[in-house]
Amino acid sequence: MKRQEDRAGASSTLSGGAMGDAINAKDWTGHALGTIEKWPLSLRTALGICLGFPAPSCIVWGERRSQLYNDAYSQVSGIRHADALGVDFAHTWVHAWSAMHACFERAARGEPARLESQQVSFERDGGSEPAAVMFSFVPVADDSGGIGGVLVTLLESGSAELRDELRRSKAALEQHGHVISHDFRAPLRMLEQMSKILVADHAEHLPPRATNLLNHVASGASKLASRAEVLTRFDVLSEHPLHRQQVDVTAMTGKIIAELSAAAPDRQVEVVVEELPEVQADFELLRLVWHNLLANAFKFTRPVAQPRIAVSGKRQGHHIVYSIKDNGVGFDPKYARRLFGLFQRMHTEDEFEGLGMGLAVARRLVERHGGTIWAEAEKGQGAEFRFTLPA
């Protein structure tokens, strides 16, 4: 027992210079992050990379944007060594937040971003030394595959060595995500099957509580394995090369609507489709975008007595704007920012099935085409999803 406790204690200790020691020494009781031993594996892994990074870097984690940083970052003027650990990243950069806010939010949705030519001062050799830096924002996956935080790195202009380090750091984070999405699947599926076999073969000898717990284990393992498979598919789609061609979007959406209607023959859904502008795009990937958005519209209009979906599109300058509007259950607009993240759900599994992947895939594929996607809704008043593609 003592040996197990020693291992647990060692696993909750971080290494990496003076700031690694400061993080270990800080009393995190009562903080939003919780005590170190409760931090998720994904945060600890990303922080380990950050602490070993030579450029000023910090991990910004969670809804409260709690920042954890390395020795080089602690030399930024205005940061008093360990005093800024765990505070809101935006408060540290209050004077520059208006410039970096959009980049940070983009990374928080899963897309790397950068902000060029920002003036920063460093405390060096007993004095303050100004420098022009680039802020790099790299999304960091959490243990469930969503976005848990952002790795922020300050790169001084012209520093090729530090840029190489950033690429290596990003590669390490991507490898971490790969391990979560690939290597967890087989053990989880095995755990699911073994739990089911135990219940099936020994049901008469198991007390009800044990049967109940084993069923929960099997259900939980199944959900986690499904999420790992989703992450693998998401990685494949993110790396799939684009093969652009002229796409008849009206014909494409017509076929998708016919398929969705045939899958629910007992429902009468009114679908109105305007003539939609053609576009240069990857046919299969664009079809997946439309399928995910239209399938959501069909799903979330199920409780409505007279479901209606309107599909439209028009050219606006150098872009085409497409719209899918429904009169379904909608969602609280204050959660709109989270909507396009992996495994983000606005409704419980008892209400509507799904893993919360469809909108994340749609966003990723639209952005790969050079477009943007957003949603507007009111709870109980339906929703409208719009996305743009280059004309």
Return the pLDDT at 98: 83
Average the pLDDT over each of 36-40, 200-204, 296-300, 326-330 and give the range with the smallest value: 200-204
Q: How far is CA 390 from the centre of its chain?
A: 25
* Separation between Cα atoms, residue 246 and residue 265, nearest integer Å: 32
Return the pLDDT at 3: 36
Return the pLDDT at 354: 47
CATH of the domain at 146: 3.30.450.20
Asked if residue 302 and residue 212 are part of one domain, the reply reads no
Which residue range(s) make up the domain with 118?
A: 12-159
Asked if residue 376 and residue 320 are part of one domain, the reply reads yes
The answer to whether residue 126 sits within a structural domain is yes
Question: Mean pLDDT over residues 149-170, rounded?
Answer: 67
The tens digit of pLDDT for each residue in 165-183 reads 556 655 555 555 555 555 5
Which of the listed residues 176, 206, 239 is the one where a domain comes to its end? Answer: 239
Return the pLDDT at 54: 82
Q: What proportion of the chain, given as a percentage, has pLDDT over 90? A: 23
The tens digit of pLDDT for each residue in 78-135 reads 776 667 899 999 988 888 888 889 899 988 888 888 888 777 777 766 667 777 788 8
* Residue 28, pLDDT above cutoff 70: yes
CB atoms within 10 A of CB 225: 19
The answer to whether residue 164 sits within a structural domain is no
Asked if residue 136 and residue 27 are part of one domain, the reply reads yes
H/E stretch holding 57:
strand 57-61
Q: Report whether 56 contacts 75 (CB < 8 A).
A: yes
The answer to whether residue 177 sits within a structural domain is no
Return the pLDDT at 49: 85
Return the pLDDT at 167: 60
* Residue 312, pLDDT above cutoff 60: yes
The answer to whether residue 178 sits within a structural domain is no
Asked if residue 27 and residue 70 are part of one domain, the reply reads yes
CATH of the domain at 301: 3.30.565.10
Asked if residue 112 and residue 214 are part of one domain, the reply reads no
The answer to whether residue 4 sits within a structural domain is no
Burial class (CB in 10 A: 0-12, 13-18, 19+), 140: buried
Higher pLDDT, 233 or 105: 105
CB atoms within 10 A of CB 193: 13
* Separation between Cα atoms, residue 344 and residue 232, nearest integer Å: 17
The answer to whether residue 293 sits within a structural domain is yes
Q: Indicate the pLDDT class of residue 277, thresholds 50, 70 and 90.
A: very high
269: tokens are 């859904």
The tens digit of pLDDT for each residue in 325-375 reads 999 888 766 665 667 765 455 545 555 454 557 788 888 888 888 888 888
| 41-51 and 17-25 helices, crossing angle to 10° | 140
* Separation between Cα atoms, residue 162 and residue 155, nearest integer Å: 7
Asked if residue 298 and residue 208 are part of one domain, the reply reads no
Return the pLDDT at 10: 37
The answer to whether residue 69 sits within a structural domain is yes
Asked if residue 313 and residue 363 are part of one domain, the reply reads yes
Asked if residue 280 and residue 206 are part of one domain, the reply reads no
How far is the CA of 138 from the CAs of 43, 115, 182, in angstroms?
13, 12, 21
| Nearest partner of 82 among 16, 160, 156, 20, judged by Cα | 20
Return the pLDDT at 349: 54
How many helices (DSSP H) and strands (DSSP E) are in the chain?
Answer: 11, 12
Return the pLDDT at 168: 61
The answer to whether residue 166 sits within a structural domain is no
| 185-202 and 208-239 helices, crossing angle to 10° | 150
Asked if residue 155 and residue 16 are part of one domain, the reply reads yes
What letter would DSSP give residue 336? G
| 249-263 and 283-300 helices, crossing angle to 10° | 40
Asked if residue 61 and residue 152 are part of one domain, the reply reads yes
Please state the domain count of the chain: 3
Return the pLDDT at 11: 45
What letter would DSSP give residue 38? G
Asked if residue 105 and residue 29 are part of one domain, the reply reads yes
Residue-by-residue DSSP string for 267-285: ---EEEE-----EEEEHHH
| Model pTM score | 0.47
